[in-house]
Amino acid sequence: MHQLIHPVEIIDKAPDHPGLILVPCFMDDNLSISWLPSKTYQGYVPEKNQIFQIFLADQDLTVVLLGMGPDDHIATVFESFRSFMINHRKMITKDLLVDLRQLPDDLAYQSVLGLTLSDYSTGTYKTGKSSSVAFPKIQILVDRFHPTLETVVQEAGQTAEVVKRICALVDAPGNIKTPAFLGQWAVDSGKQFGYQVALLDYRELKAENLLALLAVGQGSINQPLLIKMQYLHPDLDPAETHLGLVGKGVTFDTGGLSIKRATNMHYMKSDMGGAAAVMGAMELIARLKLPINVTAVIPVAENSVDANSIRPGDVIGSHSGKSIEVIDTDAEGRLILADGLSYMQQHYHPGILVDLATLTGNCVAALGYQAAGLFTNSNDLADRFTSAGEIAGERVWRLPLWDSYGDALHSDVADVKNLSGKPVAGAIAAAKFLEVFVEEAPSWAHLDIAGVAFGDTAHAKMKSATGFGVRLLLEFVKSLISTKL
């Protein structure tokens, strides 16, 4: 038996008294269920996410058929198992045996991921009755134990743990999740899982000329900072081409003087979803000890309303040396990303540069809540992220970066302005703004995750974090490792 960080174990022999048995089944299955006396069962197959219970009184045994729908898409398997654990937890009074003997390793991974992610709770700050629910012990029954499957299930458990930590970070309220809080989270993670973390404070930001980051944070009592995270695999040359990740870390976004409407402003605690995805990916890469060198740079600030806040029409500097005309103070994420991207290139020279950000509502208007917007100057990166998204169940869709879109960012008084002012193509204009600051990057991709990092979820009645980006980046990194890039 191989114990995980969660109470999940792999077994290749059924226990004598399993109690509750969960069996996934697809619409086109010719079910053969060994738990039933007749040895075969060719009857009702439940619809997707529905269950059908068979109780055997003489054995005190309940077999639950879990409907997967008509196909075996990765996202379907993940959501079906997660939905079962969330919606039917009360029926699991003892341990749970999950029969995965008919599933290949990749779907077994998604099954375990769905099972173990189901116990995330948003009630961290509630008092009185605990919001946590005891997580039942889960046994995964397979035909034959093999090392690859152990790795698959172990990775699923580690991934689930990281995704839940990231969800908790995104869901944390703004008065607790200050820039300093985010920085300490990174420091603690680095110490625990063996990678390097350093923080640049206000004085060091000024010394490094991170002027756009300082401008965004100057209206807040909580000073901005820059988080630097680096994982160097011991068997790789530190000087060889590596991956650079940049995440937008706005811990709370009022919109600044271009203030947001009050209706949904409380959700702006999630405006560091890009930073969270990058931080989670760094921790997961270190936990799994993947053979790759990765550096992350995360600019962190709170965008507040104050007498010292930047104003619409102000011209600010940036780390790259380029001047920026601030048209809208609510287009602040791209300002701090500009400094993060420039700093990354100057200090680390990554061969591949990727940034993630909850950047524009326009991307939500274009793609809804089903996919992140992907912008890249590399067809290879586009293919890799598209494939990684399908494997992870976190889809992306490529949008154009044509030169003609850049005209909307012309400024008469500065090198570039931070908002086009047009009511269309806002996500593209934001990507074109970032492109101005990635001139040295041979391969660059920008992911606008505004519609997928935070929204309606199965584990909360209000909008909450999804953990989007961690699994996507993991699969992307795996693709780089597999081709030794």
pLDDT tens digits, one per residue of 314-342 = 999 999 999 999 999 999 999 999 999 99
Q: What is the pLDDT of residue 45?
A: 79
326 CA to centre of own chain: 29
Mean pLDDT of 134-149: 79
Length of the chain: 485
Q: What is the separation of C-alpha 38 from the centre of its chain, rounded to a whole number of angstroms? A: 45
Distance, in Å, from the CA atom of 311 to the CA atom of 216, rounded to the nearest integer, reads 10
Buried b or exposed e, range 252-284, using 16+ CB within 10 angstroms: bbbbbbbeeeeeeeeebbbbbbbbbbbbbbbbb
Q: What is the pLDDT of residue 312?
A: 98
Q: Which pLDDT band, with edges at 50, 70 and 90, does 1 fall under?
A: very low
The pLDDT score that the predictor gives to residue 457 is 86
Split at pLDDT 50, 70, 90, the class of 456 is confident
pLDDT tens, position by position, 6-36: 568 888 888 877 778 998 887 765 555 666 6
End-to-end CA distance of the chain: 36
pLDDT of residue 72 exceeding 80, the answer is no
CB 256 within 8 A of CB 303: yes
Please state, in angstroms and rounded to a whole number, the distance separating the CA atoms of residues 110 and 323: 47
20-25: strand order across its sheet? 8-11, 138-141, 96-99, 20-25, 61-67, 51-56
- The pLDDT value given to residue 5: 47
Measure the CA–CA gap between 354 and 311, rounded to whole angstroms.
Answer: 29
- Opening angle at CA 414, ends 409 and 416, nearest 5: 25
Six-digit token pair at 71? 């196909």
Parse the chain into domains and list their residue ranges: 8-143, 164-482
Both tokens of 432, joined, read: 């074109």
Give the pTM. 0.94
- pLDDT score for 4: 43
Angstrom distance (rounded) from CA 344 to CA 240? 15
Please state whether beta strands 249-253 and 294-303 pair in parallel, antiparallel, or not at all (unpaired): parallel
Residue 61 has what pLDDT? 82
pLDDT tens-place string over residues 383-417: 999 999 999 999 999 999 999 999 999 999 999 99
Q: What is the pLDDT of residues 89-110, one digit of tens each?
A: 888 877 899 988 878 888 889 9
Instruction: Look at residue 91 in the predicted model and tell me its pLDDT.
Output: 85
For the 8-143 domain, the top CATH level (class) is alpha beta
How many Cα atoms occupy the beta-carbon half-sphere of 107 within 13 Å?
19
From 89, 101, 260, 398, the catalytic residue: 260
Are residues 333 and 358 in contact, defined by beta-carbon separation less than 8 angstroms?
A: yes
Q: Which two tokens stand for residue 355?
A: 């940034």
Write the pLDDT tens digit of every residue in 295-310: 999 999 999 999 999 9
Percent of the chain with pLDDT strictly greater than 90: 67
Give the orientation angle of helix 470-482 with respect to helix 273-288, to 10 degrees.
50
Distance CA 19, CA 16 (A): 9
SS3 of the chain: the string is: CCCCCCCEEEECCCCCCCCEEEEEECCCCCCCCCCCCCCCCCCCCCCCCCEEEEEEHHHCEEEEEEECCCCCCHHHHHHHHHHHHHHCHHHCCCCEEEECCCCCHHHHHHHHHHHHHCCCCCCCCCCCCCCCCCCCCEEEECCCCCHHHHHHHHHHHHHHHHHHHHHHHHHCCCCCCCHHHHHHHHHHHHHHHCCEEEEECHHHHHHCCCHHHHHHHCCCCCCCEEEEEEECCCCCCCCCCCEEEEECEEEEECCCCCCCCCCCHHHHHHCCHHHHHHHHHHHHHHHHCCCCCEEEEEEEEEECCCCCCCCCCCEECCCCCCCEECCCCCCCHHHHHHHHHHHHHHHHCCCEEEEEECCCHHHHHHHCCCCEEEEECCHHHHHHHHHHHHHHCCCEEECCCCHHHHHHHCCCCCCEECCCCCCCCHHHHHHHHHHCCCCCCCEEEEEECCCCCEECCCCCCCCEECCCCHHHHHHHHHHHHHCCC
Across the range 74-95, mean pLDDT stands at 85
Return the ∠ at Cα 334 (arms to 329 and 339), rounded to 5°: 110
Tell me: pLDDT of 126 over 60: yes
- Token representation of residue 442: 């041979």
Examine the residue annotation and report whether 334 is marked as an active-site residue of this protein: yes
At 263 the pLDDT is: 93
State the Cα–Cα distance between residues 208 and 216, nearest whole angstrom.
16
Angle (CA) 162-165-168 rounded to 5° is 150
User: Quick one: pLDDT at residue 324?
Assistant: 98
Higher-confidence residue: 107 or 182? Answer: 182
Cα separation, 339 vs 342, in Å, equals 5
Structure tokens at 348: 């680390």
Question: Catalytic one among 287, 334, 384, 395?
Answer: 334
Report the C-alpha dihedral over residues 12, 13, 19, 23, rounded to 10 degrees. 50
Res 247: pLDDT: 98
pLDDT band at 134 (very low <50, low <70, confident <90, very high): low
Contact (Cβ atoms closer than 8 angstroms) between residue 97 and residue 141: yes
Which of 8 and 466 is assigned the larger pLDDT? Answer: 466
Residue 40 confidence (pLDDT):
46
Report the C-alpha gap between 198 and 191 in whole angstroms.
11
- Do 448 and 357 touch, CB atoms closer than 8 A? yes
Name the CATH superfamily housing domain 164-482. Zn peptidases (3.40.630.10)
Structure confidence by residue, pLDDT tens digits, 343-363: 999 999 999 999 999 999 999
